Amino acid sequence: MRSRSQAIPPSPRLARGDCFYGLPIAALLIALAFLVYLPGLGGPFLFDDTPNIVSPLRAWLDGRSSGIEFVFGNQSGVLGRVVSMLSFAANGATTGLVTWPFKLTNLIIHVACGGLIYLLLKRLFRRDVGLNTITRVAAGLIAAVWLLHPLQVSTVLYVVQRMAQLSALFTLLALLAFVSGREALDAGRVRAGCWQLFALVLLATLLAMGSKENGALVPLLCAVIELAWFRPRRHLVQSVHSANLARRLFLCGFIVSPLIVAVLFLLAQPDFFLHGYDGRTFTLGERLLSESRALIDYVGILLLPRGAALGLYTDDFPVSQGLLTPPSTLWAIVVLGAWMVVSIKLRRRVPAFFGGTWLFFCAHALESTIFPLEIYFEHRNYLPSIGVFVALAGLLGWALPPLRARLPARSRTWPFATAAVLGVGLLATATAVRSQVWSTWVGIAEQGVQQHPLSRRALLDKISILLAIDQPEEARKLLQKMLHFPEPAAQTAAAFNLAWLDCRERHAIAPEELANLKQLIGHKMELAAVFGSEKLGNLLLQEDCAGLSRHELAMILRDMTAATDQPPGDIPVWRPRFMAARLFAEDHSLRLAIEQAALAWMTGRADPAVGVYLINLYYAVGDRTSAEILLPQVRAIISPWDKRNQEQLAKVLGYYADPETTSVVDPSQSIDPPADDTGHER
């Protein structure tokens, strides 16, 4: 006799009634998903949609850039996310910049992911000693909960988050191919198993990585599935040498080797991720401490979704500065550690609890660990949330059978079925309500300010709305409120935006506002402050503002970037220097303009347009030698598909073909807001 932990999971055939009942239920869930998301499909493009999709897509559709530039020119991640950009290009080519087809495509991908979750879990639960008698019910219920959970709204209805969706889609395909391939090897079908493992898994992984870098976690997730649901079984064909060899080759080549290479790379090149902390208001240690609380919060929202905890405006999430600052940090670390230890202890008795636990943690390995991203974003749970539901199902599958056995025969099903239907219905209702909020930018911002009063992003978006409806005085009150936020980043953003607002509305700023700007010297610059300084600078380039000259703002930006300890190549450093160069040039201080543009350019990380502008300045002061030395460097980094910078460079060279030309051409408009993971994250 085998013990329960050693039981051989059955492989039941498809029952005759499964299709009869299963297909209508699946169709009902799909229809319900479309119904609850319907109110939000007409919502606007938001936040990072503009620099990543709307602006470059409009440039392509207007003929100002090429389709190749749109697909390959995105800089959101290390790999460029080409697969995601191809999908955006397909939307734009067929429907233009109408929002609902983009959001509808996101919803279709979401439904497809739900179907893949069901297929994957159905195969895994067949191998699970606690769930193999309710395989389809458990897999279907988890897929339904995941599909209709309100936490997913900010991923589905935020167009740019298709990057996360497509990465999850291809990751699920890779995991499904892995499970199928491993089952084929266990059954002695070596050729079929090798085809699925060495071809399909690899292809799906590459597509996942081409959608978003999270796809690189596929080997780690395969390792979790291997440890949880695949164990050596002597009664099967483990003795077949070719099957055993193929299994070992795949595990070593696809799982173990990449993990070793990744660890060695990070140990050898720590600056690859550490340099990003120079532009943050927290350290690596503080981020790791804070992520323990963030992970606990994610789990709490998944198990008990609540409106106040949901949303995009999570920049007010407090940073842990020590184990007891706040005290919940230590508690979170203890809970997470205990969860991990218990899951390992129960690996053989409750495979789904172990597997779900580590699917959750491993799927968070990129965005919730050492890398210098922002602390908290709910869309990071799009794929990891599956693990929480699987772990919960494993615990219930282990604990409920004894309870059900004590109930009368007629009462063993309906209480659980009723609870499941009510739970799914409540989730669908909450998702529909949240989808309605996402139907307008005003609704999102209003709710954000109410639920996150200390979020500078929520306030800045509310300010934009107030300005759009011509209420500048109300906007000014909110900016003055931000000036008193404890975070220096909020104060800096508020000071620049307040100066911009007064220059725009009153064409003058008060002396105290100028003093506020000068007090920013020494603060770290973040993107919100960079955008505020550029708004102010661009306004001064177009019109005068009493109390603040172009030269004075340029000096403030110069002194701020000189005083910071952030690396010169960081976006919050080189962009203000470039803005200062433009202001100095407009003020006819060309030598100072060259100084700032050169400091931005020499980092090797600035946009090619900075190099084009510096060539422009060299020609303007008659330094043709420096311009011609710089010219091949600039040409070398302009991509073949970068039509805008090619045209700007040709414009400058054509303008200065006459040695007597001395006026300055400003090609800086070719720079778009950077696609960087420091604002509303992608």
pLDDT at 504 over 70: yes
User: 3-class DSSP state for residue 108?
Assistant: helix
Nearest-angstrom CA–CA distance, 192 and 239: 18
- One-character DSSP codes across 82-104: HHHHHHHHHHHHHHTT-HHHHHH
pLDDT of residue 402: 65
96 is written with which tokens? 């233009």
Q: Region 485-498: what's the mean pLDDT? A: 87
Nearest-angstrom CA–CA distance, 254 and 177: 13
Domain-embedded: residue 373: no
Which residues sit opposite 322 in a β-bridge?
Answer: 325
233 is written with which tokens? 């079984």
- Cα dist from 562 to 23, 525, 530, 565, 617, whole Å: 65, 12, 15, 8, 21
- Cα dist from 558 to 474, 494, 512, 546, whole Å: 31, 19, 20, 21
Report pLDDT digits (tens) over 239-290. 467 778 888 888 888 888 888 888 888 788 777 777 777 767 788 899 999 9
Domain-embedded: residue 235: yes
Q: Residue 164: give the domain boundaries.
A: 158-268
Domain count for the chain, please give it.
1
**Whose structure tokens read 């997470």?**
336
Domain-embedded: residue 256: yes
Inter-residue contact 516 to 493 (CB < 8 Å): no
pLDDT at 9 over 50: no
Domain-embedded: residue 210: yes
Inter-residue contact 583 to 548 (CB < 8 Å): no
Domain-embedded: residue 262: yes
Q: What is the pTM of this model?
A: 0.88
Domain-embedded: residue 135: no
Q: At what angle do helices 351-363 and 328-345 cross, to 10 degrees?
A: 140
Nearest-angstrom CA–CA distance, 435 and 37: 6
Of the pLDDT bands very low, low, confident and very high (cuts 50, 70, 90), residue 666 is: low
Nearest-angstrom CA–CA distance, 579 and 573: 10
pLDDT at 10 over 50: no
pLDDT of residue 679: 44
How does DSSP classify residue 637?
A: H
Nearest-angstrom CA–CA distance, 421 and 263: 45
Counting residues of the chain whose pLDDT is more than 70, the rounded percentage is 89
Q: Region 565-589: what's the mean pLDDT? A: 90
310 is written with which tokens? 């949901």
54 is written with which tokens? 């709307």
pLDDT of residue 552: 93
387 is written with which tokens? 């693990």
**Whose structure tokens read 């954000």?**
448
Q: Which residues contact 210 (CB under 8 A, 6 or more apart)?
A: 79, 80, 81, 82, 83, 84
pLDDT at 674 over 50: no
- One-character DSSP codes across 592-628: HHHHHHHHHHTTS-S-HHHHHHHHHHHHHTT-HHHHH
How far is C-alpha 542 from the geometric centre of its chain's CA atoms? 35
Q: Region 623-633: what's the mean pLDDT? A: 92
pLDDT of residue 35: 95
**Whose structure tokens read 């900010």?**
154
Q: Region 288-316: what's the mean pLDDT? A: 88
Tell me, letter by letter, the H, E, C secondary structure of 512-579.
HHHHHHHCCCCCCCCHHHHHHHHHHHHHHHHCCCECCCHHHHHHHHHHHHHHCCCCCCCHHHHHHHHH
Domain-embedded: residue 251: yes
User: 3-class DSSP state for residue 322?
Assistant: strand
Q: At what angle do helices 472-482 and 456-468 cross, to 10 degrees?
A: 170
**Cβ neighbours around 486 below 10 Å, total:** 7
Inter-residue contact 211 to 204 (CB < 8 Å): no
Domain-embedded: residue 236: yes
How does DSSP classify residue 325?
A: B
pLDDT of residue 405: 55
How does DSSP classify residue 217?
A: G
Report pLDDT digits (tens) over 77-110. 777 899 999 999 999 999 989 999 999 999 999 9
